[in-house]
Amino acid sequence: MIAIIAEKPSVAREIATIVGANDKKDGYLSGNNYLVTWALGHLVQLAMPEEYGASSFVREQLPITPPSFKLVPRQIRADKGMKSDPGALKQLKVIRSVFEQCDSIIVATDAGREGELIFRYIYTYLNCQKPFDRLWISSLTEKAIREGLQNLKDGASYNKLYDAAKARSQADWLVGINASQAITIAAGQGIFSLGRVQTPTLAMVCSRYLEYTNFTPIPYWDLRLDTFSGNKTFSAITKERIDSRSIAKELYEKQKQQKTVIVQSVEKKEVSQEPPLLYDLTTLQKEANSKYGFSADKALSIAQKLYESKFITYPRTGSRYISDDVFMEVPELIRKLIKYESFSNYAEKLSDMNLNIRSVDSKKVTDHHALLVTGQLPNTISYDERKIYDMIAGRMLEAFSGKCIKDQTTVTLNCADTLYVVKGSVTKVAGWRKVWNEQGEGKDENKELPILAEGQELHVSNIQLLEKLTKPKPLHTESSLLSSMESAGKELDNEEQRLAMKIPTKREQSELAHNLPSERYLSKECGIGTPATRASIIETLFSRDYMRREPTTSREQSCLHELPRREGGRRSQKKSLIPTEKGLAVYHAVKDKRIADVEMTGMWENTFAKIESGEADADNFTKGIEIYASQITEELLNVKLNLPQIQTATCPKCGKQVNLYPKVAKCSDAECGLMVFTSLCGKTLSDDILQTLLSGKQTSVVKGFKSKAGKCFDATLILDEDYKVKFVFDNNPKGLSKKKL
């Protein structure tokens, strides 16, 4: 009997169909000598401090560095502390039974670092000794699965991948647990969260926000000259900006007197624009955010669904290239798109052309190649899914298309010894840009100038004085934040720049593993987080109330010297990332501490890649992280957080103090356990309402609640005998608990 374990039920069903395991059981499928089960994500995790005999939030017990890490079933929050997730316990029991019945195992969790960790943690927790092979595929089409099953890899060949995944998991535990507890103790109120990746990410958001809000615009002036040649009018701007108002006005008065302008020079050149590389996950997320306002998490979620529906290849890829053997399949994929209405005409033309091979480089392919569509075309998918699919399909067509060739012209005009410049471009061969032009989304901003000759005299139609202001770097959006995470905060303009940065030598890598960096290095692999985890890091900062999304507006309209309080705007509008008061307080407390060092965190990501390739030692790295955890703990225990004073009330259950936090009112006595959440049926309860409830009184009518059915209603509130919030209506004096809504 052979067991197959997938990461999700949907993937398990696809594989089960192919191997003939069609008999449905509770938690697995069986048939044809196969048992196919699934993991439901991370079923097993590293144990919390209590499992090692350490109490939470006790200064004297920090730092917590377990001699060896324990594995436990996935934990969820309970009334008092944490408990094992019943769903995880049930599925682990199923997996244990499946493994016990089999002679060998096929690992079919996602083919990447996290997928490997999910299986290995389950395998280790269950103390399984059965041999296992690895199914390593980049799409879930029937062809890919069958070929993968015929070419299984020895599970031991992925031991280094597991070592890297385990090192990352343990590093996150050591840093996250110790840093979060240390800063919470230092704060003296509330619970705070810090992490190996989330804290440097927060630092990037906050530093950009403060740079923006503290920016002082500096005025400068330009002159604009309007002229024409034949029947074509055009405008030119002074070549050098003017920093003095008086000089600008004086020059303007002189220029207004001029009737003619001379063409001083005409420079023409042909420019070839290579097509963009294929998408990796981060680039897809960035462009989906810029184009449609999708969050990084939403873009990943949609891409994952398209993958599980067999429409695209594996989305959690960090590569923008494909190998030569995959390139052999591209012509057929393009021919398939002839039947897809959105790109039918272009795909038909491209199918008869020589394909561009810029995105073909086997040496630059990591665990998975770049994103491609599969041969299976989508029919009934959602509006948002269609957008992401079209982005991937359109990018594939762009990447294998010819160059875009333009004629670019730069004209310099001389008006009484003042120089003006105007630029124009004409597309000669649209090439890859034609993909979207055919659908009304042209990217070209062509500006065709009249034919001009040096020494030619033109008539001046008008002169204008333009007053302008210097601008700060814009606030981060999720798109720009992803770029900063990818490049460890460095301002790099393109892929080539990132790839050109220096990678550490083995000796230098060893120093990094021991937390002894003597010099800063950066490569693309040196970004913070991974393509698969960056979205979750960003979402963590939202869930921790460290930042929020706000519609991007002009500097004059946004008034960002005060923290915005509301969201709004159209769905596709870009949204800036704005730190909350809590986020800024944390940033100011840790900005000069080790835990906020973006580049150091980036170098650790590079170390994980080195562990995976066998060039660095996982144990040495973990020892270095233990030293680092001790250092940051000492630093954070002594920080001071400038937090707003929280309101308090008397606990109606035990009589002790209740603290009113932004998301919950919580008794200071952990044994009491009283908690009243501030969010109720789509409504945020004010501190005044909470004070009334905690005093045992009934509130006045609160408007704007929304039921599960989406209906709005008004009600008064009161705490019931179990200290749960209860709705009271005019026609129901006994009240109605939230659970019954």
Residues forming the active site? 314
Residues ≥6 apart with Cβ < 8 Å to 386? 378
CA quadruple 660, 666, 667, 671: dihedral, nearest 10: -170
- For 370, left (φ over 0), alpha (ψ -120 to 50), or beta? beta
> What are the tokens at 350?
């491209």
Do residues 487 and 248 make contact, with C-beta atoms less than 8 angstroms apart? Answer: no
> What are the tokens at 308?
């599980």
Task: Find tokens 């990132």 and name the residue.
Answer: 498
CA distance 176 to 45: 14
Q: Which residues pair with 469 in a beta bridge?
A: 219
CA distance 583 to 92: 38
CA distance 663 to 608: 36
Residues ≥6 apart with Cβ < 8 Å to 61? 54, 55
Q: Spell out the alpha helix ranges (H) of 80-156.
A: 86-101, 113-125, 142-150
Closest CA to 165 of 622, 632, 626, 633: 622
Do residues 111 and 367 make contact, with C-beta atoms less than 8 angstroms apart? Answer: yes
CA distance 332 to 375: 8
CA distances in angstroms from 659 to 454, 651, 663, 677, listed in the order given: 76, 9, 11, 12
Closest CA to 89 of 40, 23, 29: 40
